[in-house]
């Protein structure tokens, strides 16, 4: 029986603790960019496995490589200067 609703996955998945720790170590320069990339790859592979396991037809990388949607986006647009003071 087809359900009477449709569900789509959009946005970021919660990052695993191991990835959050790797990001912090990278920011502190205790982890190199190649090792961070390897850890991101492993976390993404696990996220994809979990999405497939629950039957999602379309899976995402969970946006695990993004720091934040708006700052990552804005930083790639020319002619915009950011000021993070509040």
Q: What are phi and psi of 78, to 5 degrees?
A: -70, 150
Higher confidence at residue 6 or residue 40?
40
Q: What is the pLDDT of residues 15-70, one digit of tens each?
A: 999 999 999 999 999 999 999 999 999 999 999 999 999 988 889 999 999 887 77
Check pLDDT > 70 for residue 83: yes
User: Domain segments of the chain: what residues?
Assistant: 17-66
Q: Are 64 and 14 in contact (CB under 8 A)?
A: no
Q: Where does the pLDDT of residue 84 fall: very low under 50, low under 70, confident under 90, or very high at 90 and above? A: low
Among the listed residues 28, 8, 15, 10, the one whose alpha carbon sits nearest the alpha carbon of residue 67? 15
pLDDT for position 73? 75
pTM of the predicted model over 0.85:
no
């Amino acid at each position: 029986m087809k359900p009477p609703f449709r569900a789509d996955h959009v946005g970021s998945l919660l990052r695993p603790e191991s990835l959050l720790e790797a990001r912090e170590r990278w920011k502190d320069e205790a982890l190199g960019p190649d090792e961070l990339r390897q850890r991101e790859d492993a976390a993404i592979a696990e996220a994809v496995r979990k999405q497939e396991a629950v039957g999602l037809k379309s899976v995402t990388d969970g946006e695990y490589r993004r720091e934040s949607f708006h700052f990552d986006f804005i930083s790639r647009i020319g002619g915009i200067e950011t000021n993070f003071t509040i």
